[in-house]
Amino acid sequence: MLSLMRSGTHSVVLKFFLFGLLLMATVGLAVMDYQGMFRNGSHSNKVAESKCATITTIEFDHLLQSAMRRENMKQEDAYRSGYPQMFLQQEMNSRLLTCAVRDLGLYVDDFTAAKQLKTMLASFTKQGGITEKEALQRLLYGLGLNESKLVDSLKAQIGIENLMRALSAGAEAPQQMIDDAMKYRFEERRGEYFTISADDAKATPTDEDLKKYYSTISKNYMMPERRTLAVLVLDRKTLGGTDKTATPEALKDFYTAHLADYSVPAKRNISQVVAQDEATAKTVYDAALKSKDLKSAANAAGKAKATFIKPADYGENDLTVEAAEPAFKANEGDVLPPVKTPLGFLVLKVEKVKAGGPRSFDDAKADVEKDFAATSNDDSDALYSKANEIDDMVAGGKSVGDVAQSLGVGEKLLEKVDAKGLNASGAKVDAGVPAIDKVVSSGFSLAKGAVSQLIEAPTGEFLLVEARDVFPAEEQPLDKVKADITKAWQTEKAAAALDIKAAKILERLKMGESFDTVASSLGKHVERSDLTARREKPDSKFPHGFVPALFTLDKIGQVTVVPSESSAIILRLADRSINIPQQQTKEDIESMRTMLDHSVQKDILEQYRLNLVRKYKVKFDNAAVHDMYAAKANSDDDAE
């Protein structure tokens, strides 16, 4: 399988097919292996089960912890926000889709999965300056999988994507929905309003008032939690690797020895016609042979039967296997007989031949230096073997100090830093630690005394971090924040006074007094806004929320309140109209149609998911999940 992946061709279609698959595979690899990839946990305790898949407590905890590390999410924050329950729902949804793919017999061959993996690795090698082998090893190491498991996961994910496309294909919003949406977009409203303020906004609190008020909001004025983090920075040499210097002579020798790798491949500028069937392809070919105009030949066959693809440059690996060989044997101007490919029957015309050849050393120097460094330091096996040993030490309970002693290196301390990596004086710490933000984030996701997994820095080092000590957040003395507390108290009192005043006004209007009469009795002048659309930004004289509030009212004459910090607007809907432009732009209509089509497709997929839940009789033990992670959140608090 690996040899297939390393030699697979780059189909033009596949270049754009499921390019985001790697992230999906990273998040949901367990989805693809419900038959046995994660069967090390106990089968007696289950957080979810169905007729096609089961998730055990041990398995789920492993997946959840990995997901939180990837998201740099603090455990206590995740538990309190309900992340475990949400993650469990997503995990089971993915497994249900995998079951559906299996039951429907949607097969993805090894060749397709291998080409997809090769395409994804190529994106990493281009961005990260590493070889394909290193990219694959890092991926497998990060996921804790072997190559076979990764390819199986990719095949299952491609199957899921194919199923989703099939379900949503052709789903379109009806014209009436589009018309109604356009009316909604172009509705305009006018409001009548006057502004009131609180009479006691400048009230002065007593010390007892402030003390009592501060006790209710003191959590908003906490000094941040700080931690002392022990960090181990492990370079290639420490991990048993090598680091050779690239001299000019060595680089030129390397360039000469690998000249084929620094050659520009031959290309063909090719126009194409994709035909619905062989007969149509033959008709297009015969016409193009006579006219030498492939586009005209395609148009003559009809758009329903033949699609013309304008000329573009292709390398031999950019074409399907069936089309590549004849295209690169042909001469400039040749029209090629129809070939059958996975894309359909193709008729090709070679518009121009572009010869390849070696790049000069100076032109290729940057690539030569990168490749030389990669091959000269081709010690990935040793590096990742040592990294696995260190991970095993940490899993066995060893501290950063223990690992440092075993390797004969020193640890670095980040003393009393907050979650942003700032020390007590507000300065950013450094201490010669690469990827410092990633290190601090990881350190704050750990319980006291716990050690992270190895973190790989962009510069090549491996990092290990331990939460050596935890200094919990502390409540600031009232005297230190008295000015802020006084302002907050006054703001709250003003808001309460405004609420009472506004409620009395709304009651008068409800009892039948006119809007103008109520405003006049309060000494207020009624103002009228211009006609305003939902999509327009509100006038600067209006506070935030004015326009949204105007569009919450259902009938002309209805009233609402738009509050702000020190005042409130009493707002009445005075007028509404729908003004659809006579000449709507095609782009406007198509944009609305696309948005609603996506909405319909999303609804279809959700209905299908719910059907799978019923079909496979899914059951969740949410109480067990709550008990597991509520307990962990409490233990984290105790530890700190």
Question: How many residues are present in the chain?
Answer: 640
pLDDT at 26 over 50: no
Percent of the chain, pLDDT > 70?
84
150 Cβ contact partners less than 8 Å away, ≥ 6 residues apart: 25, 29, 117, 139, 140, 143
Q: How many CA atoms lie within 13 A of 109 on its CB side?
A: 4
pLDDT at 239 over 90: no
8 Cβ contact partners less than 8 Å away, ≥ 6 residues apart: 111, 114, 115, 118
pLDDT tens figures, 59-115: 888 888 878 877 777 777 788 888 899 999 999 998 999 999 989 888 788 778 888
How far apart CA 449 and CA 452 sit, in angstroms, is 10
* Residue 600 burial (CB count, 10 A): 15
C-alpha distances (whole Å) from 624 to each of 51, 84, 95, 627 are 20, 11, 20, 5
Q: What CATH class does 187-222+480-578 carry?
A: alpha beta
Would you kindly state where each structural domain of the chain is located, as residue ranges?
A: 2-170+604-639, 187-222+480-578, 226-242+378-472, 266-355
Which amino acid does the sequence have at 63? L
pLDDT tens figures, 118-162: 888 877 776 656 777 777 877 776 666 677 788 888 888 888 888
Give me the mean pLDDT over the 415-424 stretch.
Answer: 89
Asked if domains 2-170+604-639 and 226-242+378-472 share a fold, the reply is: no
Give me the mean pLDDT over the 265-271 stretch.
Answer: 88
Greatest mean pLDDT range, 196-205, 218-227, 625-634: 218-227
Give me the mean pLDDT over the 172-186 stretch.
Answer: 86
What confidence score (pLDDT) does residue 18 get? 32
What confidence score (pLDDT) does residue 563 get? 87
pLDDT at 578 over 70: yes
Give me the mean pLDDT over the 36-44 stretch.
Answer: 36
What confidence score (pLDDT) does residue 97 get? 92
Enter the CATH code of domain 266-355.
3.10.50.40
**Is 412 in a helix, a strand, or coil?**
strand
C-alpha distances (whole Å) from 15 to each of 11, 121, 124, 225, 270 are 6, 12, 14, 47, 18
pLDDT at 457 over 60: yes
> DSSP assignment of 562-610, as one string?
EE-SSEEEEEEEEEEEE---SS--HHHHHHHHHHHHHHHHHHHHHHHHH
How far apart CA 347 and CA 566 sit, in angstroms, is 73
Query: Which CATH architecture group holds 226-242+378-472?
Result: Roll (3.10)
**Is 346 in a helix, a strand, or coil?**
strand
pLDDT at 612 over 60: yes
Residue with tokens 């097969």: 107
Q: Of the given ranges (238-252, 447-461, 557-571), which has the lowest mean pLDDT?
A: 238-252
Q: Is 431 exposed, middle or buried (0-12, 13-18, 19+ CB in 10 A)?
A: middle
Enter the CATH code of domain 2-170+604-639.
1.10.4030
What confidence score (pLDDT) does residue 152 get? 83
In the structure, what pLDDT confidence band is assigned to residue 593 with cuts at 50, 70 and 90? Answer: confident
What confidence score (pLDDT) does residue 379 get? 56
What confidence score (pLDDT) does residue 343 get? 66
pLDDT tens figures, 303-327: 778 888 889 888 887 787 888 888 8
What confidence score (pLDDT) does residue 283 get? 92
